[in-house]
Amino acid sequence: MEVEPTKRICLVAGSTGLIGNFLVKELAKSDVEVIALTRNEYFSENQQVIYETVDFDKKESFEELFKNVTDVFICLGTTINKAGSKESFRKVDVDYSFSIAEAASKASVPNLSVVTSIGADSKSNNFYLKCKGEVEEMISSLPFQSLSIYRPGLLIGEREEKRFVESIGQIIQPRLIDPLLIGSAKKYRSVKAEDLAYTLQTLSGASKGKTIYQFEDFKTKKIN
């Protein structure tokens, strides 16, 4: 008697951001059920995707959504300019991300993936990299069967909100800087957001324990 494979149910936090938006589409194409968390009402015509409006400050608004979930993806992120202060930035990138991971752990979700940044280091003097390092350490303390940490460099892709400095970087880095980044510096190369999203859905749960993925681990999305 054959045992039916476990149905894959994926939850995405940060589902309307640059990476999350691509990821939701990738997962839906893989014929899995997708629960996409959002702070504002959102709707998809794809029956595989259910958008759930939540308040990240209130765990009770999303804890029940983790029941039977097999894979959680944390793609939350903002900028200090958009958040308004360092404290508000940290609330999104560290506190909210950890709250999602904690809820996933409490629900015994086996596989968790989180996107941070190349250079993430809790001891860094750079506030951004320090926050990314802190959230990595906090989430690493939770007992997941598979924990995947992704550390991309500059993300290439069209965001809904314009980030002037990042937009300039998206033009300059791939053409002028990336070719110079070789050897151990290759990990600092820019990466297409759609390639990172493709990698997230492909590698979730692929390795047991904690795995850190960087540029050379990212897979290029195949064009059909």
Residues with active-site annotation = 128, 132
Q: How far apart are the first and last CA of the chain?
A: 36
Q: How many CB atoms lie within 10 A of CB 39?
A: 13
Instruction: For residue 97, give the nearest of 72, 79, 119 by alpha carbon.
Output: 72
DSSP assignment of 66-97 equals GTT--EEEE-----HHHHSSHHHHHIIIIIIH
How is residue 69 annotated by DSSP? -
Instruction: Tell me the CA distances in angstroms from 8 to 2, 29, 144, 152, one per residue in order.
Output: 18, 13, 16, 26
Instruction: For residue 74, give the nearest of 7, 138, 129 by alpha carbon.
Output: 138
Identity of residue 61: S
- Please name every residue paired with 38 in a beta bridge, in sequence order, or none if there are none: 53
Burial of 21 (0-12, 13-18, 19+ CB in 10 A): buried
User: If DSSP codes are grouped into helix, strand and coil, which group holds residue 53?
Assistant: strand
User: If DSSP codes are grouped into helix, strand and coil, which group holds residue 125?
Assistant: coil
